[in-house]
Structure 1
Amino acid sequence: MTKFLMWLALAALVIFAIRSKIRQAQKRYQDQFRQQQQAAAQPQPQPQPQPGYKARAAAQAANDAEVMLQCAHCGVFYPASETVQTNGRDYCSAAHAALPSA
């Protein structure tokens, strides 16, 4: 009978130890899950893009942009470097400048 009680006590200890380890693992998993949820809820700072080829090209295009004017005759917009001025008005071509004003 004492052997039976000894084996029963040993089995109880083993079961207790296994359940204890399972609880610890579950607690660790739940803590990690909570930390991940909290980290996901916080807004992440956006990394600043490094000025690469596209950024430099866009900056260069903005610097190279030319003022656009509107033709007094037809209303078309054209670059200021191509303007033909007559009587203080801007025209897109010499042909429109030569036409009588409406």
Structure 2
Amino acid sequence: MRLLMWLGLAVLVYFAVRKSFRANQPPSNQAQTEETAWGDNTFPQSSGSKRVEAMLNCAYCQVYFPSSEAVLRDSQQFCCAEHAEAATKSH
């Protein structure tokens, strides 16, 4: 009978610690508005003051690159000036 009591107490302590641990975790970023997520091409992070930059897809080679390095031509985004020139020459 004592063993069953100690086992029950251990289970209660386990769930109490687990609930406490989950309550201390930062909330997830599920409810971001479109303006917050894409307005300045950066995404807010919950920890620290660093910001993550949005990634774009090159219209020529399909490689992803940071939005700060984008080369814009004819409303398309390219990863470098060479790919922008190659795409405009082929059309």
TM-score normalised over the length of structure 2 = 0.57
Structure 2's unaligned 5+ residue stretches are 27-44
Percent identity, please.
29
**2:5 is the counterpart of 1:35:** yes
**2:51 match:** 64
Deviations 1:9-34 (A, max 9, x none): xxxxxxxxxxxxxxxxxxxxx43x22
Q: Distance in 2 between matches of 1:35 and 1:66?
A: 54
Amino acid at match of 1:91: F
**Higher Cα Rg: structure 1 or 2?**
1
Give the Cα separation in 1 of the matches to 2:90 and 2:73.
Answer: 10
Q: Alpha carbons of 1:58 and 1:40: their partners in 2 closer, same or farther (altered >3 Å)?
A: same
8 Å CA contact 1:73–1:96 kept in 2: the answer is yes
Q: Give the whole-Å Cα distance in 2 for the aligned partners of 1:77 and 1:60.
A: 25
* Structure 1 position 40, deviation (Å): 3.2
Cα 1:41/1:78, change in 2 over 3 Å: same
Residues 73, 101 of structure 1: 8 Å contact kept: no
The alpha-carbon deviation at position 37 of structure 1 amounts to 1.8
